[in-house]
Amino acid sequence: MSASRKSGFGAAHFILGLSIAILVIVVAVPVLLIFLNAFWANGKFNLTDVVAVLSEQETYQALLNSVFIASGTTIGSTIVGTFFAWLVTRTDLPFKKFMRGMFLVPFMLPSFIGALAWKMLLSPRAGYINRFFMDTFGLEEPVFNIYSYLGIMAVEVMYLFPFVFIQVCGALERMDPTLEESARISGAGLFTITRKITIPLVLPSILSGSLLIMLYSMAHFGTVAVLGIENGIYNIPTLIYERIHESAGSFASIRTGTVLASVLVVSAAFIIWLQGKVLGRGRYQIIAGKSFRPVELKLRALRWPLLIFCLAYIGFTIVLPTVVIFLVGGLKTYGLPFTPENLSLDNYKFILFEYQITKDAIFNSVTLGLSAAFITMFAGVMISYVIVKMKVRGKGILEFLGMLPFSVPGSVIALGVILAWSGKYGVNLYNTVWIILVAYIARYMAFSLKANSAALEQVHDSLMEAARACGATMWQTLRDIVLPLVRPGMLAAFFLIFLPSLRELTVSIMLYAPTTRTVGVAIYTLNEDGETVVSAALAGVALVLIITGQTVINRVSARYQRG
Amino acid sequence: MSYVRLTNVTKQFGQVTAVNKLNLSIEKGECFSMLGPSGCGKTTTLRMVAGFEDLDEGEISVGERLLSSSAKNFYLPPEKRDFGMVFQAFAVWPHLSVYENVAFPLRIRKFPASEVASRAREALQATNLLNVAQSSPENLSGGGKQRVALARALAINPDVMLLDEPLSSLDPHLREEMRFEIKDLQRRYGFSIIYVTHDQSEAMALSDRILVMKLGVVQQIDSPLNVYNKPANKFVFSFIGLHNFLTAGRLSDGRPSLDGKTPLPATLTPPEQIKDDPTLTLASRPSEIDFNTRGHIAATVTRKSFLGEIVDYQFSVHGQDLRVQKSRHTPGPEVGETCGLLLLKPYWFSGD
């Protein structure tokens, strides 16, 4: 009796220890090193240097830019996302299902590839749209300069608004329709109901989506890198990159980087805290069982105009940039008009079969993505299991550590990983693929924890207790009961990591070496070097990979849900 | 004079006819219940009266006011109908205080501020909510929330109150209490109630008249007593109260028999209008059967359970089950014993 008790205790503690170790090594140490480098100089706590760094003109401006761009993006995305969500859930807009699917497409498109496309369309001199208007109508000035705050915000809104859209759609669909019906029978018209009942009830969901966008945009690298640097617009992540990249790891640049990274971590933590507050306070019990379909607002005369508006929006923000990427990828030289004699598949052949840099990049991204997804999936299921299901002392530490990946943006991870794995502490992974792998695991741990704990929470304790009562040991229970039941969650985690890592830019751009470029890095650097057509062709290949992957997953998960 | 009138009301959902040619008139101040299993069309009917569903055929009107008419292509939206309505899932707005919930219909109608206050106060007083007026309905129990919904429906002093299973989300003891409160409010304010429920005892306790519905077709409209004592058909009999059904055939001389050999006693003779039907159902209520040596039929006890106030017996009558409920003070047979059963109030229906 006492012997079996002892061994059970040991196993639980072994898993707990391993889980803590993984999170400490992968996430906590890098973040800690960043804080240490920022606030600790010459053996003591040092705030004056931090203030000095922050009050430098450039860092100060980058901070302001991050906040400014994130605010604009958040406001724009919230309006766009809420409006479209309301349109596809609460009105009689034609083809609602299809529209709903289309509005989610930007989720899977990498925003820096979108930014690249918009650069090709709207850069002040060379952009196709600007040139078209200047040539045709003899305009002196470009129609729109994408290298501007407004341009950056517009592109970010196009790719980020689904965060609000999906939250609000969910809230509107789950809402008990009788809440609105009782307002109707009280004498309120549909407009009043929307204003006084519906919007206030889904406000927590709107805000939580908005804060998610704020968090994402503050720490967003790609769009600002592609569209801002040209005009001297830097935000926090792009300035960190610029400093580390240019000065090759000098003390001063590391210093600036860590201070900026600390600012990012603190603001991210604040935003996440705020989001928890909003959701906690506003989580109304607005979900009920029996229900008829909610009342649909009849758009009447506006029905078709609004459909055309939606289609135009989708055409302009999704189809147009995607098509431009593929077309430019087919051009002999950037800037030529899109005529049949200028277009060919040569660039695609070149990047897939001849060009060493792009061939390496594709190989690196696929292998990195697969290994990161595989490792993170298993680590995530173990850590989630401890957090959700196990009752051991010391779990609190793990719960705290488990929150960490959610609030650490990509550029912070990259910087932290450089600090931790550059040989200062005995292991030097710098300039190898391994450092990118470690960073990917840290970056995507949050996805895996989320998917796996959601799956584990569905497995009721009594299912495991029943197995134990039938005579199964803890390990047998895990193998025969728990793992099969959480397999959908694990699969979800795998793809949630594999697909984004195919297009990852923020982390890899800080960590790559000449032979360890990823697809994202290759697209970005080729474009910087003026090899626009090759870069576009590679972006096209990446889009095909991502869209194919996503379609396969949607099919598989649909079958999972049905069967 | 009838007040709420439904004439030939029909509603289709795709291929399914949810309500079929329903004719109905409800008096002013009457409490009228619609009763039936789920999917029988009772809720759809209520929603057509409320205006949440349009109708495919027929007409609905209240007093002189036309609400919906397919022939005249007329449909008044719910917000213009001036009804009070209470829903099953409470549907009180969590982002507004109790007071603001109740004041909402008054503000929508642009009553002057003083009248909003006085009417909301009155409705809150009538439902015993004055002391929680400023708190959030989230902090109230299910019964409290349903009171808020009731107060909100009362606020405009409607002529017609629509209640869609208002008590079925509540605990059983609360249900009984709220039942009487609703009845009290009706007496005080004099509105008509259209009440949808699947709980027959609720309908019995509250209503002046009951409509029993099945698959969109009216089975019976009558007073609670008549629905219980004079059921129009076998469905109504089975839906209201506990029931026993015994299938009977005919002997060659035409007399009904349970086993195909011995005729039933003359006291158990089917009524005139179904005397020629080959198969019959002999129905009875478990509480309306006595043990008697000179009983109508002989039966053997197969199960006997003590339920507290009553004892529940299961008998076997020529292979068919029959339930009897007796007060625990009445002596009765034990399992395996055979005795005579006297059906105090037999009902006959055609077919099995």
| Nearest-by-CA chain A residue for B38 | A290
Q: In the predicted model, what is the mean pLDDT of residues A545-560?
A: 82
Contact B79 A288 (CB under 8 A): no
Out of A182, A183, A187, the one facing B109 most closely (by C-beta) is: A187
Is residue A243 over pLDDT 90?
no
pLDDT, tens digit, 9 for 90 and up, residues A155-190: 999 999 999 999 899 888 888 888 888 998 999 888
Other C-beta atoms lying within 10 Å of the C-beta of residue A230: 15
User: Would you say B189 and B168 are in contact if contact means Cβ atoms under 8 Å apart?
Assistant: no
Rounded mean pLDDT of chain A? 86
pLDDT, tens digit, 9 for 90 and up, residues B296-351: 788 999 999 999 889 999 999 988 999 999 998 888 889 998 888 888 888 998 87
More confident residue, B153 or A298: B153
Q: In the predicted model, what is the mean pLDDT of residues B173-186?
A: 89
Residues of A in contact with B162 (CB under 8 A): 185
The structure tokens listed for B92 are 């009180």
CA–CA gap between residue A481 and residue A466 (Å, rounded): 10
CA–CA gap between residue A479 and residue B94 (Å, rounded): 44
Q: What per-residue confidence (pLDDT) applies to A248?
A: 67
More confident residue, A560 or B7: B7
pLDDT, tens digit, 9 for 90 and up, residues A375-419: 999 999 999 988 888 877 777 788 788 878 878 888 899 999 988
Is residue A516 over pLDDT 80?
yes
| Nearest-by-CA chain B residue for A190 | B79
pLDDT, tens digit, 9 for 90 and up, residues A272-284: 888 888 777 655 5
Residues of B in contact with A183 (CB under 8 A): 93, 104
Q: In the predicted model, what is the mean pLDDT of residues B126-143?
A: 90
Q: What per-residue confidence (pLDDT) applies to A283?
A: 54
Grade residue B175 by pLDDT with cuts at 50, 70 and 90. Answer: confident
What are the CA-CA distances from residue B193 to residues A164, B27, B209 (Å)?
Answer: 43, 10, 11
pLDDT, tens digit, 9 for 90 and up, residues A62-89: 999 999 999 999 999 999 999 999 999 8
Q: What per-residue confidence (pLDDT) applies to A5?
A: 46
Q: What per-residue confidence (pLDDT) applies to B163?
A: 94
Is residue A264 over pLDDT 80?
yes
Q: What per-residue confidence (pLDDT) applies to A560?
A: 67
CA–CA gap between residue B287 and residue A390 (Å, rounded): 55
DSSP A229: G
Grade residue A2 by pLDDT with cuts at 50, 70 and 90. Answer: very low
Is residue A1 over pLDDT 50?
no
Contact B84 A185 (CB under 8 A): yes
In terms of Cβ atoms closer than 10 Å to its own Cβ (0-12, 13-18, 19+), residue A25 is middle
CA–CA gap between residue A458 and residue A461 (Å, rounded): 9
Q: What per-residue confidence (pLDDT) applies to A80?
A: 95
CA-based torsion, B228, B229, B232, B236: positive or negative? positive
Our CA-based measurement puts residue A284 at a distance from the nearest CA of chain B, in whole angstroms, of: 6
More confident residue, A460 or B154: B154
More confident residue, A153 or A515: A153
Is residue B208 over pLDDT 60?
yes
Does the ipTM exceed 0.85? Answer: no
Q: What per-residue confidence (pLDDT) applies to A523?
A: 94
Is residue B218 over pLDDT 60?
yes
Contact B88 A184 (CB under 8 A): no
Q: Which of B104, B150, B196, B198 has the most A C-beta neighbours within 10 Å, making it the best mutation to test the interface with A?
A: B104
User: Would you say A119 and A226 are in contact if contact means Cβ atoms under 8 Å apart?
Assistant: yes
| Range of weakest confidence among A295-299, B48-52, B114-118, B329-333 | A295-299
Q: What per-residue confidence (pLDDT) applies to A561?
A: 62
Contact B105 A192 (CB under 8 A): no
Q: What per-residue confidence (pLDDT) applies to A6?
A: 46
Contact A181 B162 (CB under 8 A): no
Grade residue A124 by pLDDT with cuts at 50, 70 and 90. Answer: confident
